A and B are shown apart, each in its own frame.
Chain A
């Protein structure tokens, strides 16, 4: 087994997501280079995990910008829903007027038919 064949597995073994096979383990036990790499990966991962607790200071004004953006988005949403509401009311009115017109025409036509039959 060559050290290069182990490269991917060493990085996965360092974070515990993968176990080395028996053959790989035996190689590492005898190989100083692979042992050193494994230790280096572990150090690297430890340092990466420690970064998790570190919070970088945001530039001044960022919070105000985010809140202003949200405000604008909220207003746009409100306007859109108002327009949608108006559209619905307009279409509803139009539908009601059409229905009333159609009903009137039917009543008018039936009366005219009755008058013709009576005469």
Chain B
């Protein structure tokens, strides 16, 4: 069984199912991380990841290897997230009450690692989760995953100009959340 991602991709393209399963094993945590950042909740992230790997499985022959497999997966994941968001807004559910919220069943994060994490990073994660989904998707894909505007626009089904406008709005909102002006802080305190 090949171990290198490029070799796994080549084997999977030749119809080796075990190689594709191994590709999933190697990359799924990374794909899930992106999906969770894009969707902002675990349930939607799981759906997006499953859908992304199904699409990758069906379209693997079309992957020519011009980009890295991970970048290809990011684009598929972004596209699935946009589709999922479209479906969700079409069949909008009532939000759960605070008391009805499901418990977080993810393994507990290492407390040492948590204490080591910078304050800015923690606040950034919180600020990102507060951003509207449309803005969050663009800023995460551009500033965290370094996808070009063209790719972001293509996968989210928007124009490049719209992608740039959303990016600017998202950055502005994040900056204002992370670095509130003193006068605003004073006003909030009153």
Contacts and interface: CB of A to CB of B under 8 A. Distances in A.
Interface in A104-118: none
Given A47-B120, A66-B49, A70-B57, A55 B21 contact: no
A55 B30 contact: yes
A58 B29 contact: yes
Contacts of B24: 63, 66-67, 70
B168 A70 contact: no
Interface in B95-110: 105-107, 109
Given A57-B107, A70-B54, A62 B171 contact: no
A99 interface: no
Interface in B40-70: 42, 46, 49-50, 53-54, 57-58
A58 B17 contact: no
B8 interface: no
Interface string B1-31: 0000000000000000100110011001110
B174 A44 contact: yes
Contacts, number: 100
B172 interface: yes
17 contacts: A7-B168, A7-B172, A40-B175, A44-B178, A48-B143, A52-B144, A57-B29, A57-B107, A58-B32, A58-B49, A62-B28, A63-B25, A67-B24, A69-B54, A70-B53, A70-B57, A74-B57
Given A48-B144, A58-B28, 20 more contacts: A11-B167, A11-B172, A37-B175, A40-B178, A44-B124, A44-B175, A50-B121, A51-B125, A52-B145, A52-B146, A54-B33, A55-B30, A56-B32, A59-B42, A59-B105, A62-B28, A62-B46, A63-B24, A63-B28, A70-B21
B135 interface: no
Interface residues of A, number: 34
A37 B167 CA distance: 16
Nearest to B124: A47
B116 to A, nearest CB: 12
B168 A8 contact: yes
A49 interface: yes
Interface of A: 7-8, 11-12, 15, 36-37, 40-41, 43-45, 47-52, 54-60, 62-63, 65-67, 69-70, 73-74
A56 B124 contact: no
B73 interface: no
Contact of B106 (A45, A50, A59, A74): A59
Among B17, B33, B49, B175, residue most surrounded by chain A Cβ atoms (within 10 Å):
B175
Q: 8 tightest A-B contacts by CB?
A: A48-B143, A58-B32, A56-B33, A40-B179, A11-B171, A51-B144, A47-B124, A55-B29
